[in-house]
Amino acid sequence: MPAPVYKIAIIQLHPKVSNYAVGVPDSPTFTDLCAESSKYLSAYCSLAAELKINIVPGTIIEKHGTSLLNIAYFISDTGEILGRYQKKNLWHPERPHLTSSTHEPHVAFDTPLGKVGLLICWDLAFPEAFRELVAQGAKLVIVPTFWTLADCSEKGLRRNPFAEELFLESVLVARAFENTCAVVFVNAGG
């Protein structure tokens, strides 16, 4: 009797806004760069197909009309975009630059890894987002982020220098247990 054959789904993850430097939104050329975002997405799709891996390329800032959107994608090992999510809950420094997707529902989608949902950064602070995804069958929620341990401000750090670290450790475990799902938190900060 031959041994069973298992197909392993490999995923490559990148942190939030992985194709732009921090602070770039204040640059006069930032909006022009965002208008070229489709070439980054196309390159990630080609790479996924070439290497036969699934990719979540962090987030890509895209220009849609006059709005800038922070979007995460799940790209399959064939190069097909299987899921897309626009950030809902903007962090205070993002609000002057980006547009929120306040009315779009959270959507779980089928992937080679099973049913997956995407959230971005500060969205993880809102349990209803996870509940929506899990109610649709998501077993895995991927959260690309650029979270620094100084995000709570100097005043917050003076009060508790470990506040951000404690928050992240607590909320990530809580979201996984509350929803009986796996949470993949992909961070570029520290």
Q: Report the first-to-last Cα separation within the chain, whole angstroms.
A: 50
The confidence score (pLDDT) of residue 98 equals 73
Q: Has residue 109 been placed in a domain?
A: yes
Number of domains in the chain: 1
Q: Is 79 exposed, middle or buried (0-12, 13-18, 19+ CB in 10 A)?
A: middle
- CATH, residue 127: 3.60.110.10
Global pTM? 0.84
Residue 4, in any domain of the structure: no
Q: What is the pLDDT of residue 6?
A: 44
Within a domain: residue 111? yes
Residue 182: both structure tokens together? 């796996």
- Predicted local confidence at residue 104, as pLDDT: 81
Average confidence (pLDDT) per 10 residues, the chain, 190 residues: 52 56 60 78 93 88 81 94 90 73 88 95 93 97 86 83 90 96 82
pLDDT of residue 7: 46
Please indicate, yes or no, if residue 5 is contained in any of the structural domains: no
pLDDT at 25: 65
